[in-house]
Every structure is written in C-alpha cells, then in structure tokens.
Structure 1
Amino acid sequence: MRLWLRIFLGIVLALVIAATTLYVYAKRERGLEQEVLASLKKNIVVSSGSFPPNGDMPINCTCKGQELSPALAWEANLPDAESYVILATDYDAPTPAFPLFNLAHWVVYNLPTSVRSLPEGVTAEQMRMLGGKIGKNSLGDMKYIGPCPPFGRHAYVFRIYALDQPISFTDLPGKSDVLEAMQGHILGYGELTGYF
C-alpha cells in the first residue's frame, strides 16, 4: 500500500475514533443531567418575551444579529429559595444528527430570589447590579453566546434552578462546576426551549 494512502487512512481512523469518543462523552454527560432532572421537581414556569415555547429564536438573539441574550421570566412559589441559576445549553452541536458537544451558551448563578426576570440583552453591568454572577461559557468567555449552528436546526434549552443557598467558587466556574456545586441544594427547576 502506498505511503500516502496509509497516512490518509490513519488520519481518517483517528478522526473517526475522536468523533466517536466525543459523541459517547457528550451523550453520557447529557444522560447524567437527565438523571438529576428526573429526581427534581419541575416547579418553575419559564417564559420569554423574545420567543414562544419551542419556537424560533429571533435573529437579534443569534450570531446573525446582535447576539443579545433573550428576555426571560419565571414564576416559582419556593419560599425556601435563596438564589437562582440559569444554564443555557445546545445539546445538538455540531449537528442534531451526530451531536459531539453539550455547548454551554450561558452560565448565570447566585441571582437573588427577588429577581424574577431578565430583559433581552442584559449586560454584565446590569447583571452585577441585579446581584447575579456570570460564569464561563463553553468558549471560556463570561457572556451569552448566541445560537450559531453550523448544521441543521438546533434546540437551545434555558433551565432555571432554584437553590436553597448561594454557591461559591475559588475560580471562575463553568457549567460543569456550577452543576456540581448545586447538587444537594436544588429545590426545583423549569425550562424553556427555543430553536434556531
């Protein structure tokens, strides 16, 4: 067999192994999240003035527009709640047919319970004034990433969790850090899905 063909086949095999590993890892991570969600009360009603439930997200909330975070509002009757967490995730990256990543688009934590809504395009300064903190998204930035799917129509899940206490970190947390810190402190959750 010619050398170039062996090299080509070696590269293809390495890519297949890498893609399969990523697929299995992403599926496992999502499965673990689903297990936790199945044990929780879904007692928060989440809505958005930017898009309807299971509807299309507006261009201005995506990479094709201004990449503004969507407006969110939530209703909960949880007197023991001390803080809220918002996690926005795309489980379809890079394509719904073969998802390889659980892409964290937005990580917000320690929102006071007096806050029950966020305006569209909430800024880091507004978030700070509200008392909330922004963690790292999957790109390592402290901001909202607007939907920008390379292939297909993706689902973007916005989950809001009520906790019985604020959570703290020594370093700037990402989604997995927040999920870990929340364990044993979640009083309930709600979710809203948008598509783009």
Structure 2
Amino acid sequence: MSEQKRRPLPHDFHPPVPSFAVVSDDVALGGKLKDDQVYAGGNVSPELRWDGFPPETKSFAVTCFDPDAPTGSGFWHWVLFDIPTTVTELPTGAGSGDMKGLPEGAVHVRNDYGTRDFGGAAPPPGDGSHRYVFTVYAVDQEKLGPDADATPAVVGFHLRFHALARAQLIGEYEAPAAG
C-alpha cells in the first residue's frame, strides 16, 4: 500500500493529549508482526507494557486498529477497557484463547471479526503493508461506561472524552499476492 493511500489513525480525530510509553517484546515499532499475531497463524495477542502515564489515571484501555483495511472505516482487531491501574502489562496471549493474564474486571467488546478477543492481522493478499496500531489509553475514570455489548465505535466515543493520555505502538503486516 503506497504512502498516499494510508489512512489517518483513529485518534487523529480526537483532541490532543499527552503521550506515554508502551513497549512490547512481541511487536517492534514499525516492524513486521510475528506469525502468531496473524489471524491464520495463531491469533495471539502481543505482550504490551506501559509506563509514564498521568498520576490521575483511574483505568486503562487497549485497542488494536488497522486503518489501512479496505473497508472505508478501518478494522478493529482488539478493544479492551476497564483495566485497573494496578495492571501495567498484558502478557502474550492475554487477549486470546483462555484469556489467562487478562485482568479481572477488564471488558472486551466484539472486534470486527465479531469475537470478544484479539483478532490477528489478515490483510487481503496483495493489498500491501497494513499498519496495526496498538494504543493504550490512560482513562480518567475506573469504569469507562460501555458494557461488553458496545461497538468499538461507542468505546472510541467514550475514549475521546475520557482519555488523559495515549501511548501507541505500530507494527505492520503484509500478505503476499496469491500465485
């Protein structure tokens, strides 16, 4: 996918907020996603850890979004919120499978695959490199408001008004053209 075709990131439309740090042993900034983070390769959510968020943070939210999906509206791969402030790391696989390592009280909403978990990268073959934007939000309230039946858009609406700060990590993945 050429630079000209790349779409804005979801929080480009939100008011500016301070940033903080998010890192991962599974996702290298600007690097290719690992095979197990691909839909057909295992669907395993990456390890994420963060620090430097505002002291008034009351909870966190984590999302993964592909703005380059050929949908006109991007593609939500992961939406998780109401993560307690005592949790500043999600281990590999916390958002997939048996949800081991997922903090108690955290809420998953359906991703664009229709499941309440992490859905790995799956760009159409030959569509070029897609960006997978992992964002951690520092939230100004313990409970964001929506429940598990909300859509990613509703969660994004709430995050627009309740994000104190944001951290982002972008990995990329490309499925080669068939034959």
Give the TM-score band, short-chain normalised: 0.7 to 0.9
What is the DSSP-based 3-state SS (H/G/I as helix, E as strand, rest coil) of the residue aligned with 1:64? helix
Deviation at 1:128, TM superposition (A): 5.2
Decide whether aligned partners of structure 1 residues 67 and 186 sit closer, same or farther in structure 2, where only a CA change above 3 A counts: same
Residue identity in the other structure for 1:178: V
Residue identity in the other structure for 1:173: A
Q: C-alpha separation between the residues in 1 aligned to 2:67 and 2:148?
A: 25
Would you say the 8 A contact 1:127–1:133 is kept in 2?
Answer: no
Structure 1, unaligned stretches of length 5 or more? 1-26
Larger radius of gyration: 1
Q: C-alpha separation between the residues in 2 aligned to 1:70 and 1:171?
A: 21
Q: C-alpha separation between the residues in 2 aligned to 1:32 and 1:153?
A: 18
2:32 aligned with 1:60, yes or no?
no
Give RMSD over aligned pairs: 2.2
Return the structure number with greater helix share.
1
Aligned equivalent of 2:140: 164
Decide whether aligned partners of structure 1 residues 78 and 87 sit closer, same or farther in structure 2, where only a CA change above 3 A counts: same
Q: C-alpha separation between the residues in 1 aligned to 2:91 and 2:10?
A: 31
Structure 2, unaligned stretches of length 5 or more? 1-6, 174-179
Q: TM-score, normalised by structure 1?
A: 0.75
Map 1:43-192; keep pairs closer than 5 Å: 44-94=20-70, 100-122=72-94, 123=96, 125-126=99-100, 129-150=103-124, 151-165=127-141, 166-169=143-146, 172-192=149-169
What is the DSSP-based 3-state SS (H/G/I as helix, E as strand, rest coil) of the residue aligned with 1:179? helix
Deviation at 1:129, TM superposition (A): 4.3
2:172 aligned with 1:195, yes or no?
yes
Deviation at 1:169, TM superposition (A): 2.4
Deviation at 1:182, TM superposition (A): 2.4
What is the DSSP-based 3-state SS (H/G/I as helix, E as strand, rest coil) of the residue aligned with 1:46? strand
Would you say the 8 A contact 1:91–1:102 is kept in 2?
Answer: yes
CA deviations on 1:43-85 (whole Å, 9 max, x unpaired) are: x201111121111110011123111011111112421111001
Q: C-alpha separation between the residues in 2 aligned to 1:153 and 1:136?
A: 24
The size of the alignment, in residue pairs, is 163
Deviation at 1:127, TM superposition (A): 5.5
